[in-house]
Amino acid sequence: MSDSVVRVSILRCDATRFALLRSMMLDAEAALRPGIEAMPGLLLFYAGADEATSSLINTSVWDTLEHARQLDTFQPMLDAGKRFVAEGATFERPIMHYASLWRFGQLA
């Protein structure tokens, strides 16, 4: 798995919108999970929220860059992104794809 790819998508918002967008992220799991879990090459997927920076992330680990890029055209993810933007979110672009250099811990 040393050639795995970590995909990081960051959403930022005004502090006054954070609670709403956090709630929307929680709700988005039901629509996103089945399709993402069915994609070839998925190793791990995390969604996270940091109130201190008014930001949320989707971070996933894939076996190849090609597989990580499946999310670029996954329509439920694109639709969710539009809903977040409509509520004041700004996504950092481009989405980052990091080649794994090393890893450790229980999931390694």
pLDDT, tens only, 11-39: 999 999 999 999 999 999 999 999 999 99
Burial class for 5, CB neighbours closer than 10 Å (0-12, 13-18, 19+): buried
Predicted local confidence at residue 106, as pLDDT: 82
CB 22 within 8 Å of CB 56: yes
- Domain 5-99 has what CATH class? alpha beta
Average confidence score pLDDT of the chain: 96
Q: Which residues of the chain have pLDDT under 50?
A: 1
Where along the chain do its domains lie?
Answer: 5-99
